[in-house]
Structures are given as C-alpha cells and as structure tokens.
Structure 1
Amino acid sequence: MTTQNLALLKGLSAKMGYLNHRQSVIAQNIANADTPGYQPQDLTAVNFDKVLKAVDKRSGMAKASVSTTSSGHMSPGSSLRDPKTDDQKTVYEVAPTGNAVIMEEQMINSQKTSMDYGLMTSLYQKNIGMIKTSIGRGN
C-alpha cells in the first residue's frame, strides 16, 4: 500500500494542486496588469460541503448527528457569518484602458494562496510523520 491510497493524503495533494494552479492564475493577472482591457481571472473555490456530501453518499457510512446538551451550546442549525468571506466581491477599480487588475488585491490573493499551500505541506509532512511513527520508523 502506498501513501497515495490514503484518502487524507490524496485530498491534501489535490488541494496543493489546486493552490498551485491558483498561484499560476494570480501570477498571470499580475503579469497582465498593464494590458489594456484585461480582466483578472480566478479559480472557482471548491465547495467542501458538496464534496463531503458526495463522499458520504459513496461511502454508505451512517451519518453522525450533532446535539446540544446545554442551553448555552450553539445549535447545529444556527447560521453564523463566515469571518473569511469578503463583503466585496466585485471589481471596484478599472483603469481608463479597461484593465481591472488591482495589484494590491492580487498580492493579497497570492499571499493567502502561499500561506494555504504552506499549511497543506505542513499537514502532509505531519501525517507522513505519524505513519512513520506507527510503523516504527519515526524520528
């Protein structure tokens, strides 16, 4: 059995591939910052909820339910605002030439992508370390 057969490591590898591709798209946006009429591109974010539901359907596993044991607990159906969501998703600045690339926005996206990639790399390394430890080849 190889590590590529483990679902967690497959998922981490897929996310790293997505982030790698997103970084390329952001770099292309930055490279075209002076191109007249260029509109910035971005990849569609993966909806983890849909992916998880698809995996649940395929696995046939029983669903775990969440319940509250105290009135102070949050109820499972409560909706909270995601602190990571951006309130402004539209382009708010367009150059006279029609170019809509905002360098600051692209640099922020690049940094977020880089940090996410670093996190995925760290998680991958930690999981490989746990596997090595479990088979007696740990540090």
Structure 2
Amino acid sequence: MSVNDAPYFSMLKSRMQFLNDRQKVLADNVANVSTPKFTPKDLDEKSFQKTLSRSYSTGSSGPGSIAPVNMVATSPMHINGTRVSTTGTKAVNAPDSETTLDGNSVVVEEQMIKVADTRMNYDVALTLYQKGLQLMRMASKRPGS
C-alpha cells in the first residue's frame, strides 16, 4: 500500500484539489470585474462535502477506504468513461452584495476575502499533509536511529 492510498492523504488531496479549483473560479471572477452582466461564480462546498462523505465508505476494503467516484452519462450523446472525479463539485452563480448599472455583480473586495480564505484553508491542508508525511517517516524509522 502506498502512502497516497491512505484515506488521510486521499482526503487531504481531494480538499487541496477543491481549493485549487476554487481559486481558479475566483480568479475568473476578478478578471471579469468589468464585464457587463457578469455574475460571479463559486464552487459548491456542500456538493463537495456530499461527494466526499459518499466516497468515504466502509466497503469491502475495510473501514475508512475511499470508494472511486465514476463519471455518469446523463445523455446518450455523452461518452462513458472510467475517470475519477477530482472534487465532485460544480460552479454555481454566487452574486456578491452589489450589482452595478451594467449588470455586473462582482465586488472585488468580497472576491479578495474569498481568495484569502481559500488560501488559508489550502495552507492548513498542505501543513496537515506535510505533518502526516513526517509522522509516516518517523514511524518507518528504526528505534534509536
């Protein structure tokens, strides 16, 4: 079993991927601050939590194993695949508190707060990942060395 297969690291990697995707969406919002009728988007945290809790099963591989999340074809025109969803989230409209006369509802200050919050959450997940690796290294060393 590799370290990447451990549920602890798998969940942290999923969380970091979600936060990475959220940063991209927020950056797109800031880039469109002057686009008429643009509505900012954000990733749906609740759908990510549902996907993560659904993936965290007590299946035949033992308690705490991560079940794969497969793509679902909702139309006969879709390609059936076996790719695993990275975050299981979707971008949803998340208008900010104000809308300008041209219909744009991006408030740069609110987007920057979301960017900073996302960065802090990413830093926490990264620190937990690094500490987990340190613990694994410590556990794999011989006593007294």
What's the TM-score once normalised by structure 1's chain length?
A: 0.70
Q: Which amino acid aligns with 1:122?
A: T
What's the TM-score once normalised by structure 2's chain length?
A: 0.67
Q: Which amino acid aligns with 1:39?
A: T
Q: Which amino acid aligns with 1:102?
A: V
Structure 1 residue aligned with 2:16: 16
Structure 2 residue aligned with 1:55: 56
- Gapped regions of structure 1 (runs ≥ 5): 62-88
Structure 1 residue aligned with 2:141: 136
In structure 2, distance between residues paired with 1:135 and 1:57: 27
Q: Which has the greater radius of gyration? A: 1
- Shift in Å, 1:23: 0.2
Kept after mapping to 1: 8 A contact 2:95/2:106: no
1:57-91 per-residue CA deviation (whole Å, 9 max, x = no partner) reads 53676xxxxxxxxxxxxxxxxxxxxxxxxxxx763
In structure 2, distance between residues paired with 1:56 and 1:5: 14
Higher relative contact order (CA 8 A, sep 6+): 1
Structure 2 residue aligned with 1:64: none
Matched, 1:106 2:107: no
- Gapped regions of structure 2 (runs ≥ 5): 64-93
Higher percent of residues as strand = 2
- Shift in Å, 1:31: 0.5
- Shift in Å, 1:40: 0.2
> SS of 2:43's equivalent?
coil
Task: Give RMSD over aligned pairs.
Answer: 2.4
> SS of 1:58's equivalent?
coil
Identity of matched residues, %: 33
Alignment length (residue pairs)? 111
Matched, 1:125 2:126: no
Poorly superposed stretches of 4+, deviation over 3 Å: 46-54, 56-61
In structure 1, distance between residues paired with 2:95 and 2:104: 14
In structure 2, distance between residues paired with 1:50 and 1:40: 23
- Shift in Å, 1:53: 5.9
Kept after mapping to 1: 8 A contact 2:29/2:106: yes
